[in-house]
Amino acid sequence: MELSTKAIIQRPARLSDSIFGDRFRHRPAPDAFTVGVLEGEGIGCDVVRAALRVLSALEETGRVKFNLEFGGSIGQKSEAVHGKALSDEVIRFCQGVFAEGGPILAGPGGGRFVYDLRKQFDLFCKLTPLKVCGELFDSIRVKREYVNDVDILMVRENVAGIYQGSWTESPSLNGDRSAEHSFSYTEHEVRRIIAVAAKLASLRRGGLTVVIKDGGIPSISKLWRSCAADICADAGVKHNCLNVDHVAYQLVQSPQQFDVVVTSNLFGDILADLGAVLLGSRALGYSGNFSSSGSAVYQTSHGAAHDLVGKNQANPMGQIFSLAMLLRESFGLAAEAELVERAAVRVWQQGWRTSDLTNNGYRVAGTKETGELVAEALVEISR
């Protein structure tokens, strides 16, 4: 038990320094840290509120104070009212939070919400940690010996590629519809994401995997190969370029070989979701989306799961870990982030599981109860 808890604590102090640089290193701490909240749709409201309960418990310890600001609807809920998944209202809300030096804690939103949000604020870098917790070995579908000590950092290019391309639909002369989609990468877009990944690799175990697809997208893959060779040579980091299908296979077959993995928008999306299998549940995946100017949005890796709405079954741990990431990366509150992570692990150590992780012998907790349990554990640990 103690080994896995320590493993969580020993993450690099601040991954975002590789993106932000020294921008916030010497910024004085405010009386209250501003956090923007977008609850999202589906189970978003439930998992975000569970995370906010943990944040409230952190305030109860007297260590730090927060100023919460709540934004409007996103995703399909926004489309029903505003005609688009990311409304002008929410854009203005995010601008205001970022201007105050705050990040956004976001629940899931459907449609084009996440893609438009990232493009709007140039959140070009998405960091997804895939670190296995020992308390969950018997809930993970992959054999223990293949996931023990897995510690992967996915670095995803977030504002270009196929998700930010252009598309059309049109009928042909014979009535057969056609759909077209085109996309591109510039050297600037590729170099800046690989530079972040190489810096992170130099601070970790020194290994960088660059994911491409030589035969499928030859010109773009050639660009990624060339940029990686230049940047990694300058950074003194060993790198390996692998095709995405092979990486997907190896991610399940032999995940311990990977350290930092950097790739394009589409490939990064798929591989991060696949990597959640190693954690035990897609509900445990989380990430941070960053711009070079310091704006950041933290979210889970799962969707709105409308089939679970009102059932109190959604696992909020991914949202809680995204909160810990927010504390560490945007505010430099490493000790407080560690406290949240340790509290989450403590709940698992006590034998509690949500229904997606449970096996015989464990007590099942619902969404709200899990948030309460983590909050209680946090207060207890802090004494």
* Active site (catalytic) residues: 163, 213, 245, 269, 273
| H helices present in 21-107, as ranges | 44-60, 75-82, 88-99
Q: Which of 141, 164, 212, 197 is nearest to 356 (CA)?
A: 141
Sequence-distant (6+) residues with CB within 8 A of 210 are 194, 197, 224, 225, 228, 239, 240, 241, 242, 262, 263
User: Torsion angle of alpha carbons 38, 264, 268, 82, nearest 10°?
Assistant: 30
CA 102-103-105 angle, to 5 degrees, is 135
Question: Within its chain, how far is the Cα of 112 from the centroid?
Answer: 17
Tell me the backbone φ, ψ of residue 333, rounded to 5 degrees: -90, 70
- Rounded distance, CA 42 to CA 132, Å? 27
Say if residues 63 and 29 touch (Cβ distance below 8 Å): no
User: Which three-class secondary structure state does DSSP give residue 241?
Assistant: strand
Q: Which of 97, 96, 73 is nearest to 83 (CA)?
A: 73
Q: Which of 240, 248, 296 is nearest to 105 (CA)?
A: 296
| Cross-strand partners of 364 | 353
Tell me the backbone φ, ψ of residue 288, rounded to 5 degrees: -125, 140
Tokens encoding 322: 């995204």
CA 152 vs CA 187, 204, 353: distances in Å: 26, 10, 24
- Rounded distance, CA 363 to CA 175, Å? 57
User: Which three-class secondary structure state does DSSP give residue 87?
Assistant: coil
